[in-house]
Structure 1
Amino acid sequence: MTNQNIGKYRWTICALIFFATTVNYLDRAVISLLKPYLTAAFQWSDEDAVINYTNIEIAFKFSYAFGMLFAGKVIDKLGTKIGYALSTCLWSISAIAHALATGTMGFSVARIFLGVTEAGNFPAAIKTVAEWFPKKERALATGIFNSGSNIGAIVAPVSVPFIAENWGWQWAFIITGAIGFVWLILWFIYYEIPSKQKRLAQTEYNYITQPELERSGTTKEVDSAEKEVLKPISWKVLIQYKQTWAFAIGKLLTDPIWWFYLFWLPDFLDKQYGLKGTQVALPVALVYVIASFGSICGGWLPMNLINKGMPVFKARKTSMLIYAFCVIPVIFSQYLGNINMWYAIIVIGLAAAAHQAWSANIFTTVSDMFPNRAIGSVTGIGGMFGGLGGILLSALVQKKLFVYYESIGQIEIGYFIMFSICGGAYLLGWAIMHFLVPTFKKIEL
């Protein structure tokens, strides 16, 4: 049966979560591009700017980590339709509220609310993919929606400095935050779980739910997958499995790297090459354009290996090992940048692409190893560990490292150390995950 005969409505759902992820990252990236404007508006010194910005960043990461732990449980309890909508509505309000901040404390409070509410995006998105896609297509669907994080990071440098320079930094938060309400309208128009979606053809439903149909021998009336969603599993049970810890540690080691690019790339371009304001738009956008290709190709490679007969879990792990090696050249980005800035941009873009490819697959391992009713909770646990890793990186490395090297006028050394950490994190993460889960085993709860 061809894809044309099967139907394509599941890709409409993928487009919706792609849009949501784009808005999610756009809202969190805005402040990184407003750092020079906020420094001028609040008359921070260079050292104060580093410390205050890092504290604001830590506030977001801490609340995001805390929010991820509970967001997964909420999504499992409420279901994807209501849970995703609630999360998006609240984070959009939080994004707009940044415009009311009058100093570091105000931004920290706004970031705390943004972090807690944005935490719902990935548990909801991963759960949606598990509900709407057969296992062999999940990495591709995850890669596509996850590329929304790159699009958000591309739109931000193109739009935010322009808005700030013409209408003030407050409007940058208001305009970008309001986009989430556009998504909400589309979500309620087009989304419903497969068994209740009237726009979904029977052939596509059978294709999506084939494993369940083979066990039950029935048709679209069977909603065992949806009923499963209503029975979330406790954290106490989930943390007893090595599979949970493999995912959590993988996120702990690699999520902070992406956040480093997201929050500090504009500052790196300023300190290393003197680019400010709208000057950072093109190089930052190029990094995330490259990363977008990595996200989509990251989902294509394991699907191709699976279609050639490789077991699903082996295909995921093989792909992730390849992506881990692709990150290593970022260690030499500054050396290459001394020859030509654009060489550094390309290498950082390659590392960001490899991260997104890795991310598409590590997320998909959750739906490979756990039943539907646990996906949100396990994704939340992993997200919490990823957030904690970001906090540790900011508090123990960036805050001390960058402040020290900034004070002695050698900030480039601080960035070299950070890029070295970035280059090795994925191989370490892969090795630990392989040690914990050397062979595939589906969890029966």
Structure 2
Amino acid sequence: MQSSPRSTGSERASPAVAAPTYEVAASPMSRYRWRVCAMLLAATTISYIDRQVLGVLAPFLQEKIGWNELQYSSIVTAFQAAYALGLLCAGAVIDRFGTRIGYALAIGIWSLAAMSHALATGVLSFAAARFALGLGESGNFPAAIKAVAEWFPQRERAFAAGIFNSGSNIGAIVAPIMAPLVAARWGWQAAFLCTGALSATWLVVWLLTYRTPDQQPKLSTAERAHIGSEPVVSGARVPWSQLLRHRQAWVVAAAKFITDPIWWFFLFWLPKFLHAQYGLSLLELGPPLITVFLLADVGSIAGGWLAGRLLRRGWSINRARKGAMLLCALLVVPIVFAAKADNVWLAVALIGLATAGHQGWSANVYTLASDLFPRRAVASVVGVGGFAGAVGGMLISTVIGLLLQLTSSYVPVFMLAGGAYLVALAVVHGLAPSLEPVHLDVQTKPQGE
């Protein structure tokens, strides 16, 4: 973390309450932190457009190039393997170099990787492009969560995380609108080139505008005080070997390992399910997919809002976080009936309810990292969790490929999805009954000193 700016004499004067009260009253509260949140939302949206384009085009590409189910699962697994490997070091790189440079490195890699899909001609070349994309995109969530920890006090973090995490749904909405239209007009290669250009544009804006709160001159005194209402932790980055000694790190890892694979299934197999089960063409996939991920978007923001609302009502962090997670887990349960739905829109409703539950769950799981660990360790903890989720995704991709190749049935997958979140919540509660935060051997100082 970078050092805070020098304080004036009035800021250090005693009593400490008088000067800040006068300065806050004299300086209207700015909203620059929400501009930062908008940037994180845009990056997450682009990230999910990049990864979702393949899922949307998969039924078409499978017929054109001749993949079978196992070959498609191997392409998906290549992305997840790289994503897992990238998360081994992404959080550490971001904690070491800071959010601005770390995020820029990640999105630069994935921008080039997204465009490289246009050169792919078969299973191996698609797998190579997906592998590179996974390496780059592994930095998105560690960087975004660290930015939230830098720019928001604890009571606002779940809501901010819910907002930027909703970009995963927006991206999944934009992709089925954009990809078929671009592919139909200019060819499937153009769809991948367009998404790469979006991420390259974001990179330029990010480097020109992003600074940490202590270096951002556009902040008002009131907003700076609001952001700095919690202590800033000083010291070097915490290595994974030290983090994994704490049960709280395994809380985040277990929650991600059990539930992230369900989201991977939605992203990469939902278009194939709708095509196989209901005979939807490439252009007909748009409305059902848009509906599913619009519901997911609502769930992402509502899940973060609910936890924050419960905290403002006086609930403890433990009770509020787990209460919100329980509600989200229950929303996923009805998906067990989706594979046997009589019509496409009943299936869409059940799946959309589940994606809403997942995204509300996910917003709270990400916030667990900043609930349980000091700011300087947050990106590394999110990296641990993301690695666990990617490993779980690799396993589920292989299992789904084998199941579909042998049985052509989605019933077991939907049954697995329906119970995963309740199991994950039980594991979280077992590992951390009270969500007691980790107190690392570091010094703290009030922001502004």
Q: Verify same fold: TM over 0.5.
A: yes
Match of 1:390 in 2: 393
CA contact (8 A) 2:109 2:135 kept: no
What SS does the aligned partner of 1:19 have? helix
CA contact (8 A) 2:28 2:220 kept: no
What SS does the aligned partner of 2:315 have? coil
Match of 2:412 in 1: 417
CA contact (8 A) 1:140 1:296 kept: yes
Q: Does residue 1:194 correspond to 2:217, yes or no? A: no
The equivalent position to 2:56 in structure 1, one of 16, 33, 38, is 33
CA contact (8 A) 1:136 1:312 kept: no
Q: CA deviation at 1:164?
A: 1.1
CA contact (8 A) 1:164 1:172 kept: yes
Q: CA deviation at 1:189?
A: 2.8
Matches within 5 A, 1:303-314: 303-314=308-319
What SS does the aligned partner of 1:34 have? helix
Q: CA deviation at 1:154?
A: 0.4
Instruction: Provide the C-alpha distance between the structure 1 equivalents of 2:28 and 2:423, rounded to a whole number of angstroms.
Output: 44
CA contact (8 A) 1:313 1:368 kept: no
Match of 1:220 in 2: none
CA contact (8 A) 1:161 1:277 kept: yes
Higher relative helix content = 1
Q: CA deviation at 1:38?
A: 2.0
Instruction: Provide the C-alpha distance between the structure 2 equivalents of 1:173 and 1:440, rounded to a whole number of angstroms.
Output: 42
Query: TM-score w.r.t. structure 2 length?
Result: 0.91
Matches within 5 A, 1:22-421: 22-42=45-65, 44=66, 48-212=67-231, 224-225=232-233, 227-228=234-235, 231-335=236-340, 337-338=341-342, 340-395=343-398, 397-405=399-407, 411=408, 414-421=409-416
Q: CA deviation at 1:166?
A: 1.3
CA contact (8 A) 1:313 1:365 kept: no
CA contact (8 A) 1:76 1:377 kept: yes
Give unpaired runs (5+ residues) of structure 1.
213-223, 406-410
Instruction: Provide the C-alpha distance between the structure 2 equivalents of 1:142 and 1:203, rounded to a whole number of angstroms.
Output: 22
Instruction: Provide the C-alpha distance between the structure 2 equivalents of 1:199 and 1:190, rounded to a whole number of angstroms.
Output: 11
What SS does the aligned partner of 2:410 have? helix
Q: Cα deviations across residues 380-408 of structure 1 (Å, max 9, x unaligned)?
A: 0110000000011111x212101001xxx
The alignment covers a number of residue pairs equal to 416
Match of 2:447 in 1: none
Letter in 1 for 2:392: G
Match of 2:7 in 1: none
CA RMSD of aligned residues (A): 1.3
Q: CA deviation at 1:209?
A: 1.2
Match of 2:12 in 1: none
Instruction: Provide the C-alpha distance between the structure 2 equivalents of 1:262 and 1:38, rounded to a whole number of angstroms.
Output: 16
CA contact (8 A) 2:274 2:344 kept: no
Q: CA deviation at 1:444?
A: 1.3
Q: CA deviation at 1:433?
A: 0.6
Instruction: Provide the C-alpha distance between the structure 2 equivalents of 1:416 and 1:364, rounded to a whole number of angstroms.
Output: 32
Between the aligned residues of both structures, percent identity stands at 46
Q: Does residue 1:443 correspond to 2:438, yes or no? A: yes
Instruction: Provide the C-alpha distance between the structure 2 equivalents of 1:285 and 1:189, rounded to a whole number of angstroms.
Output: 33
Instruction: Say which is worse superposed, 363-372 or 179-188, in terms of deviation.
Output: 179-188
The equivalent position to 1:7 in structure 2, one of 14, 27, 30, is 30
Letter in 2 for 1:435: G
Instruction: Provide the C-alpha distance between the structure 1 equivalents of 2:292 and 2:62, rounded to a whole number of angstroms.
Output: 25
Query: TM-score w.r.t. structure 1 length?
Result: 0.91
Q: CA deviation at 1:114?
A: 0.6
Instruction: Provide the C-alpha distance between the structure 1 equivalents of 2:108 and 2:244, rounded to a whole number of angstroms.
Output: 30
Letter in 1 for 2:138: A
CA contact (8 A) 1:366 1:379 kept: yes
Q: CA deviation at 1:362?
A: 0.4
CA contact (8 A) 1:151 1:292 kept: yes
